[in-house]
Chain A
């Protein structure tokens, strides 16, 4: 073993890289399989027809999404195909308006505006925006806000008006509802509750 010989280190570089890439390949195949829509970790898009909660799981040590009874979105239950189309449209809305450049999704994006992973469950919708917009449901409040954010100021930092149509706003809301049902290993931690007393 001649440590002065570059070929020795070249062999080390090649073999290390190869081993890591092989391991990554196997992990990727598994990760993609368990994160396809309809898997245990990532629900199918028609979860938007159901109630979604976020409850502490003692066996895992963190909060996990809980899918409950039927809860129509915009007063209707979507077929799987309709739900898929709506949620797909929602993702296109989020990309076309570059939401990720102010907000975070699963904590990824920009940090000027709040994380949207559990936005569907945020108490602010029922506490602040339902009364402010005169809506009777959280979903309606979210749609009204997204269509006219300049009418409903949050605080000193305000969301700009991104010219969302009603269809687009509904699609974005559906996307946020689907997203909050994904099992994210407990992120965000104890949503809506303080950890300091724990």
Chain B
């Protein structure tokens, strides 16, 4: 095994651990809606939420980085350049995450000064981590980019997938620079903030997971490189063709010109179309292999990725993206419903699929199956479905009673939040969140145990029926 592949396994372990922290923080965040006096003035909602959304970003990033470290040496037939530095930085990364989390838990916030921005809490959603940690992330990501590009350079070889990946890593890295500024003007602050958030999760991350899925499909189904590369280019064309100006769906109400209502709404409404293409492709792949594979968990999680992305990002997003509707849904639990579903479908399922793919190879198991993966698959997906369903009910209630009927005042917010439909949605969200958490435990158990008792053999190629 290459050193970078051993590093990949460490990244996956860290990612799955943080997935658990994210789930626990999410459950706690959900509980405040049911028990509002919980830990009042000790550990309030905003800190639980900060832990929840920051671990979300980090666990997925670690999953992506680990996946690239796994596939890269196989792609180029050589060890990754600069791997020693990457190995050290992994531990630095983990330590930094732990320190930032500890400060969030025990210090929480500081005074209104630059010291707080540098060392405690920057208070901008998803990028609350203090600047010193943001610098650390930049160093880790730059090293990662160095690893990828120099390995390709030294190998004197580039593939289509690598070209797309490397070109994608440039904006992915540059966009993170928005984690640093402290801008007074909220309109401009949010303008740039959405460049980071949207262009990560609806552009560069989509391309990145596309590259990872391309490598995965070559291994999982033996699909030819020519086909996965062509499909990757199609995906890049459609996803960036709709997603770059689809950024405008975040610019309806932040003070930017009204032309964004038309541009953002139009391109955003086109975003489900590439996802429909991916669903057709997934059915094609599944059907032509007659659902047979030597790695059933990876296969099913790849299918979940295609379907979850379409439903969570496509259907849920389309419901609320047209400006006339968004005027009411904006800033409600409706958005939360969409966000949870889209993140899960687009990225969560994909990272889990890759981890299973890799584990089959590291454990040398020919038949890679278990009972636990089925339980975790069912519980996690049922859990997320229930959660987003509950949040949708709460969100629509809030949009109707709080905004449309109530006029978006504080009193209207209270009335909507006390509405029994809203409350029922929140209870359902918590209950299904518990199911999701049980699914996580099953997943963690399965990842530790699957394939360990199978006979050691070379990984079998998938054969067509």
Chain A positions near chain B (C-beta within 8 angstroms): 4-6, 8-10, 12-13, 16-17, 20-21, 23-24, 27-28, 30-32, 34-37, 41-42, 45, 84, 87-89, 91-102, 104-115, 118-119, 122-124, 150, 154-158, 160-162, 168, 171, 179, 182-196
The distance from the CB of A7 to the nearest CB of chain B, in whole angstroms, is 9
Q: Is the CB of A189 within 8 A of B125?
A: no
Known: A95-B122, A191-B407. A106 touches B109 (CB 8 A): no
Chain B 116-128 near chain A by CB (<8 Å), digits 1 or 0: 1100111111001
Chain A CB within 10 Å, residue with most, of B164, B240, B256: B256
7 A/B residue pairs, CB under 8 Å, sorted by A: A89-B112, A92-B182, A101-B45, A123-B411, A154-B414, A161-B41, A184-B253
The distance from the CB of A11 to the nearest CB of chain B, in whole angstroms, is 8
The distance from the CB of A184 to the nearest CB of chain B, in whole angstroms, is 5
Q: Is the CB of A189 within 8 A of B237?
A: no
Q: Is the CB of A111 within 8 A of B331?
A: yes
Q: Is the CB of B240 within 8 A of A24?
A: no
Q: Is the CB of A157 within 8 A of B187?
A: no
Closest Cβ neighbor of A127 among chain B residues:
B411
Pick the 7 closest A-B CB pairs, nearest first.
Answer: A107-B331, A187-B253, A9-B233, A101-B46, A95-B123, A188-B408, A20-B244
Residues of B within 8 A of A156 (CB): 36-37
Q: Is the CB of A108 within 8 A of B327?
A: no
Q: Is the CB of A35 within 8 A of B252?
A: no
Closest Cβ neighbor of A172 among chain B residues:
B112
Q: Is the CB of B405 within 8 A of A194?
A: yes
Known: A10-B233, A107-B253, A189-B403. A96 touches B116 (CB 8 A): yes
Contact of B49 (CB < 8 Å), options: A84, A101, A115, A157: A101
Closest Cβ neighbor of A150 among chain B residues:
B41
The distance from the CB of B249 to the nearest CB of chain A, in whole angstroms, is 12
Residues of B within 8 A of A84 (CB): 184
Q: Is the CB of A24 within 8 A of B332?
A: no
The distance from the CB of B145 to the nearest CB of chain A, in whole angstroms, is 19
A192 to B45, CA, bound (A): 27
A162 to B47, CA, bound (A): 12
Kindly state whether residue B287 has any CB partner on chain A within 8 Å. no
Q: Is the CB of A96 within 8 A of B253?
A: no
Contact of A112 (CB < 8 Å), options: B33, B245, B256: B33
A34 to B257, CA, bound (A): 7
A20 to B253, CA, bound (A): 22
Kindly state whether residue B241 has any CB partner on chain A within 8 Å. yes
Residues of A within 8 A of B236 (CB): 13, 17
Residues of B within 8 A of A4 (CB): 226, 230
Q: Is the CB of A16 within 8 A of B331?
A: no
Known: A110-B125, A191-B407. A35 touches B233 (CB 8 A): no
The distance from the CB of B420 to the nearest CB of chain A, in whole angstroms, is 14
Residues of A within 8 A of B410 (CB): 114, 119, 122, 124, 154
The distance from the CB of B388 to the nearest CB of chain A, in whole angstroms, is 14
Chain B 319-358 near chain A by CB (<8 Å), digits 1 or 0: 0000000011011110110000000000000000000000
Q: Is the CB of A35 within 8 A of B41?
A: no
The distance from the CB of B361 to the nearest CB of chain A, in whole angstroms, is 26
Closest Cβ neighbor of A119 among chain B residues:
B410
The distance from the CB of B184 to the nearest CB of chain A, in whole angstroms, is 4
Contact of A124 (CB < 8 Å), options: B258, B405, B411: B411
Q: Is the CB of A31 within 8 A of B244?
A: no
Contact of B240 (CB < 8 Å), options: A9, A16, A92, A99: A16
The distance from the CB of B125 to the nearest CB of chain A, in whole angstroms, is 5
Closest Cβ neighbor of B193 among chain A residues:
A108
Residues of A within 8 A of B463 (CB): none
A108 to B127, CA, bound (A): 14
Known: A9-B230, A190-B407. A17 touches B331 (CB 8 A): no
Kindly state whether residue B276 has any CB partner on chain A within 8 Å. no
